[in-house]
Amino acid sequence: MRRFTVFACMVLLMGSVAAFATASNDPPPAGAILDLNGTAIPHGAAETYTVDFTAALASTDITFAFREDPAFISFSDASVTDLTNPSGNLLLNGNFSSGSGSNATDWTYVNIYGATYGGQVSGDCGGGLTTCWYDGAVQAYDAIDQVVPTTIGDEYQVSFDLNDDGPDSTFSDLSTNGDTTDTGGNGVDALAYAQAGLPPAGGIVPEPSSMVLLSTGLAALAGALRRRMARN
pLDDT in tens, 83-102: 999 989 999 999 999 999 99
Report CA dihedral (36, 34, 102, 139) to the nearest 10 degrees.
-50
Can you tell me the mean pLDDT for 124-145? Answer: 96
pLDDT in tens, 17-33: 333 457 899 999 999 99
CB 217 within 8 A of CB 127: no
pLDDT band at 217 (very low <50, low <70, confident <90, very high): very low
pLDDT at 199 > cutoff 90: no
Residue 47, φ and ψ in degrees, nearest 5: -105, 140
pTM of the predicted structure, to 2 decimals? 0.79
Rounded to the nearest integer, the mean pLDDT of the chain is: 83
| Cα–Cα distance for residue pair 9/159, rounded to 1 Å | 51
Per-residue burial over 203-228, b if 16 or more Cβ lie within 10 Å, else e, is beebeeebeebeeebeeeeeeeeeee
Closest CA to 14 of 203, 213, 223: 213
pLDDT at 206 > cutoff 50: no
Roughly what angle, to the nearest 10 degrees, separates helices 2-17 and 208-231?
Answer: 170
Q: Which is more confidently placed, 227 or 26?
A: 26
Q: What's the pLDDT score for residue 42?
A: 96
